[in-house]
């Protein structure tokens, strides 16, 4: 059984938030920080892919509509690379229709967190992926 991030004492999990909207990056990074995450930011898929070459976070939140490479294509590229094939990726988007959810999952996204969702939904997703820090997990239990 693999050790999950929440079981490593003294280690805060890391998240990479990829969104071209500064406000959206700010909102999600604040929610993640409240849940015990250290957060890195990228404003495009290209900058995120370059950032991932330097080291992997515990989870990536990828916007769908980005300038240049869109989020779904970025997820497909990450899934094709051995190093990032199993990296948890959550689409962070305003898209929420059933057709979009199917396209996101087909591209390789683990889950979808809509920009209209609240921090409770975020905690549920992170708990399902065993990424919620232990201290937060114990408070929510």
Question: What 8-state DSSP symbol labels residue 84?
Answer: G
Rounded-to-integer distance, Cα 16 and Cα 63, Å: 11
- What pTM value is reported for the model? 0.84
**Chain-wide mean pLDDT for the chain?**
87
Q: What's the pLDDT score for residue 72? A: 96
* Number of residues written out for the chain: 141
Per-residue pLDDT tens digits for 4-14: 444 445 678 99
| Predicted confidence (pLDDT) at residue 15 exceeds the cutoff of 80 | yes
What band does 2 get if pLDDT is binned at 50, 70 and 90?
very low
């Amino acid at each position: 059984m693999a050790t999950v991030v929440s079981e490593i004492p003294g280690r805060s999990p890391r998240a990479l938030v990829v969104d071209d909207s500064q406000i959206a990056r700010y909102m999600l990074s604040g929610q993640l920080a409240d849940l015990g995450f250290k957060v890195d930011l990228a404003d495009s898929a290209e900058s995120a892919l370059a950032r991932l070459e330097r080291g992997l976070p515990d989870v990536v939140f990828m916007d769908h509509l980005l300038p240049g490479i869109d989020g779904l294509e970025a997820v497909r590229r990450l899934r094709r690379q051995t190093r990032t094939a199993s990296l948890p990726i959550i689409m962070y988007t305003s898209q929420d229709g059933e057709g979009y959810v199917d396209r996101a999952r087909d591209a390789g996204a683990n889950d979808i967190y809509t920009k209209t969702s609240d921090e409770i939904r975020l905690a549920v997703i992170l708990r399902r992926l065993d990424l919620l820090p232990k201290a937060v997990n114990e408070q929510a239990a």
